[in-house]
Amino acid sequence: MTSQEKLCSFEEKISPHLKSAYNLARWLTHSHEDAEDVVQEAFLRAFSAFEQFRGEQGKAWLLAIVRNTALTLLKRKYNSTDTVCLEESVADPIEPSPGPEESLLISCNREHVRQALRQLPSDFREAVILREMEGLSYKEIATTMGVPLGTVMSRLSRGRDWLTRILSNTNAPSVKEEPV
Amino acid sequence: MNCNDSRIYLAAYFDDELDVGQSLGVHQHLAGCPDCRQLQREQVVLRSALRDSALYAHPSAEFSKRIEAVVRRAARSEARPRTSWIGWFRFDSFRWSWAVAALVAIATIGAFLIINGLRPSHQQIISTAVLESHIRSLQPGHLIDVPSSDRHTVKPWFQGKLDFSPPVPDLSELGWTLLGGRLDYVDGRPVAALVYQRRKHDINVFLWPSHNSTLYDNVTQENAQGYQILHWNGAETTYWVVSDLNNAELLDFARALRGH
C-alpha cells in the first residue's frame, strides 16, 4: 500500500467517524480541550497503526483507540482512580425495582439526563454512549472496550438501571449536590 | 421465563441482541408480566432521552479541518524517506553498530592498503635487482662469461649451469649484436643473462622460466637512474631487459625478441 493509497483508504474508512470520536472523547473527559487533544492524538495513532486495521468495524476500531488515548490522558492528568472503584460504586443498582407510580416520574429534562450521565461511572457511561448515541452493536462495543460480550451486556443493563433510578429520583440529594 | 431471567435479558432484548429462542422467551414473559412491561417502557423513555441530539457532542468544523490536515501531514512525513541526520545520530539506534562495523572495515582495508603501498611489490624488488645486476655487469670483467656472437655457442654453454635451457635468438640481421651470455642470480634463483649490443650500448636480457603465464602479456616500462627497464612474461619465460639505450629503440629490441 503506497502512502497515497493509505491516506485515501484512511480518509474513506476512518475519517468519517471523527464525529463519534469527538463525542466519545468529550463524554469521557468532560472537557472540550481534552476531547480535541484526545481525538487528534488518537487520529495520529490510528493513522500510524492503520496497516493493522483489518477493514471491518472501522468505527469500533477508531473508538477503541480514542478510548485508550482518553484513559491515558485522564490517568496522566488527574491520576484518575475512577475506573478502579467502578464496580463497587454501582454494586447494586437494580435492587429496588421501581414501582409503576415511581417510574412515571422519570425525568426527560435534558439537563437532568446530562447530569445523570455524567455521574454514571465511566465504564458504564461509555457502554451506554456507544450503544445509545453511536448505535454500536454489542460486538462492536466489546471490540471498542476490549471486554467480553457478557460484560458489555451487564454494563449496559446495569448502567441503564442506574440511570433510570437516578432520573426517577431527581430529588435525591446525591444528584442535587453534584455541581453542574 | 420468570421475572429474574427476564430482567437479565431485558436490555439485550431491547437492543435486539438476543437469539430467536431467548427473544421469544422474553417476549412471552413480557406479555404476561405488567412489572417487566413497565421496565421496558422505562427503557424506551430512557432511550429517547439519551438520543436527544443536544446531548451529542459535535466537533467544530474548524476542528474537523484541523484533523484532516494533521492526518495528511502525517501521511506526507511517512512518505518521505527518513534520512534526517538527527534521526541517524540518535544513540538508541542500532545503526550505530553498523557505523562502527563500517569504520572498522574501512580502517582495516586502509591499513592493509597503506602497508602494502609502503612495502615494495615483488615486481619492484626484481626490477631493482635486475638494474643493480646490469650496473654491476658493466664493471670491468663482469659483463660476459661466454663471449660469442654465435647462439649455438651461447645456448649450450648454459647446459648444466641452469635447470632450464634459455632461448638465445640471433637478432644480428635486425641490427642487434649478440655479445655473449652470463650466469646471474635474481629473485632467489640462478638466471640466464644474455648480452646484446647496439652502437656500444649494452643490453642485458635476464630470463628464467615463468610459472604463472603462458600468454605474452604487455610490456611494462620503467625508467630508473637513467636506465630503461622493460619486463614481460613470455610463453613459459619471464623477461627483464635493462639498457641505457633510448626507450624507442629498446622497445624495438623487445619487439624483435618477442617476435622471434
Residue at A83 is within a domain: no
pLDDT (0 to 100) of residue B143? 82
pLDDT (0 to 100) of residue A68? 93
Whether residues A11 and A59 fall in one domain: yes
- Nearest residue of chain B to residue A97 (CA atoms): B39
pLDDT (0 to 100) of residue B90? 58
pLDDT (0 to 100) of residue A90? 46
| Angstrom distance (rounded) from CA B9 to CA B21 | 12
For the stretch B57-86, pLDDT in tens is 999 999 999 999 999 998 888 877 655 565
- The distance of A133 to chain B (nearest Cα, Å) reads 6
User: Is the pLDDT higher at A123 or at A86?
Assistant: A123
Strands B220-224 and B146-147: unpaired
For residues A104 and B45, is the Cβ–Cβ distance under 8 A?
Answer: no
Sign of CA dihedral A138, A140, A144, A147: positive
DSSP 8-state class, residue A51:
G
Whether residues A64 and A103 fall in one domain: no
pTM, rounded to two decimals: 0.54
- The whole-chain average pLDDT of chain A stands at 80
pLDDT (0 to 100) of residue B117? 76
| Angstrom distance (rounded) from CA A162 to CA B116 | 88
For residue B10, the chain A residues in CB contact (below 8 A) are 157
Mean pLDDT across A158-180: 64
B5, B15, B62, B72: which to substitute to probe chain A, counting the most A Cβ within 10 Å? B15
pLDDT band at A176, cuts 50/70/90?
very low
Say if the Cβ atoms of A133 and B56 lie within 8 Å: yes
- The distance of B106 to chain A (nearest Cα, Å) reads 37
Residue B145, C-alpha cell as written in the block: 662469461
pLDDT (0 to 100) of residue B78? 81
Last residue of one domain, picked from the residues A25, A52, A78: A78
- The distance of A115 to chain B (nearest Cα, Å) reads 11
The long-range contacts involving A135-142, CB below 8 angstroms and separated by at least 24 positions, are A136/A59, A136/A60, A136/A63, A137/B17, A138/B12, A138/B15, A138/B17, A139/A57, A140/A57, A140/A59, A140/A60, A141/A60
The long-range contacts involving A92-98, CB below 8 angstroms and separated by at least 24 positions, are A93/A158, A93/A161, A93/A162, A93/A165, A94/A158, A94/A161, A94/B7, A96/A165, A97/B7, A97/B35, A97/B39, A98/A164, A98/A165, A98/A168, A98/B42
* pLDDT exceeds 90 at position A77: no
Whether residues A12 and A48 fall in one domain: yes
**Percent of chain A beyond pLDDT 90?**
43
Residue at A84 is within a domain: no
User: Is the pLDDT higher at A19 or at B9?
Assistant: A19
pLDDT band at A125, cuts 50/70/90?
very high
pLDDT (0 to 100) of residue A87? 43
Whether residues A39 and A117 fall in one domain: no
pLDDT (0 to 100) of residue B93? 59
pLDDT band at A102, cuts 50/70/90?
very low
* pLDDT exceeds 50 at position A13: yes
For residue A69, the chain B residues in CB contact (below 8 A) are none
A97, A109, A130, A139: which to substitute to probe chain B, counting the most B Cβ within 10 Å? A97
Say if the Cβ atoms of B45 and A108 lie within 8 Å: yes
For chain A, give me the number of helices (H) and strands (E)? 11, 0
State the total domains in chain A. 2
Instruction: Provide the CATH number for the domain around residue A153.
Output: 1.10.10.10
- Nearest residue of chain B to residue A36 (CA atoms): B63
DSSP 8-state class, residue B120:
P
Burial label for A94, CB within 10 Å (0-12, 13-18, 19+), is middle
Strands B227-234 and B146-147: unpaired
For residues B183 and B131, is the Cβ–Cβ distance under 8 A?
Answer: no
* pLDDT exceeds 80 at position A95: no
Closest Cβ–Cβ partner in A6, A11, A44 for B70: A44
Say if the Cβ atoms of B74 and A47 lie within 8 Å: yes
User: Is the pLDDT higher at B60 or at A172?
Assistant: B60
Say if the Cβ atoms of B55 and A3 lie within 8 Å: no
* pLDDT exceeds 50 at position A172: no
pLDDT (0 to 100) of residue A33? 92
**Percent of chain B beyond pLDDT 90?**
15
The class level of CATH for B122-259 reads alpha beta
Three state DSSP letters for B186-219 = ECCEEEEEEEEEECCEEEEEEEEECCCCCCCCCC
- The distance of A40 to chain B (nearest Cα, Å) reads 6
Whether residues A15 and A70 fall in one domain: yes
Whether residues A135 and A66 fall in one domain: no
| Angstrom distance (rounded) from CA A32 to CA A26 | 6
pLDDT (0 to 100) of residue B60? 93
Please list the ranges in chain B whose pLDDT falls under 70: 81-94, 212-216
Say if the Cβ atoms of B55 and A47 lie within 8 Å: no
- The distance of A78 to chain B (nearest Cα, Å) reads 22
Task: Assign B241 to helix, strand or coil.
Answer: strand
pLDDT (0 to 100) of residue B12? 87
* pLDDT exceeds 70 at position A100: no
pLDDT band at A46, cuts 50/70/90?
very high
For residues B235 and B215, is the Cβ–Cβ distance under 8 A?
Answer: yes
Mean pLDDT across A10-26: 93
Residue B241, C-alpha cell as written in the block: 631487459
User: Is the pLDDT higher at A130 or at B250?
Assistant: A130
pLDDT (0 to 100) of residue B153? 83
Where along chain B do its domains lie? 1-78, 122-259
**Window 52-71 of B, Cβ < 8 Å to A:** 52, 54-59, 63-64, 66-68, 70-71
Q: Is A48 on the interface with B (CB under 8 A)?
A: yes
Q: Which of B211, B257, B212, B209 is nearest to B237 (CA)?
A: B209
* pLDDT exceeds 90 at position A63: yes
pLDDT (0 to 100) of residue B212? 64
Whether residues A72 and A117 fall in one domain: no
Domain ranges, residue A62? 3-78
DSSP-assigned letters across all residues of B57-104:
-PPPHHHHHHHHHHHHHHHHHHHS----HHHHH-TT-THHHHHHHHHH
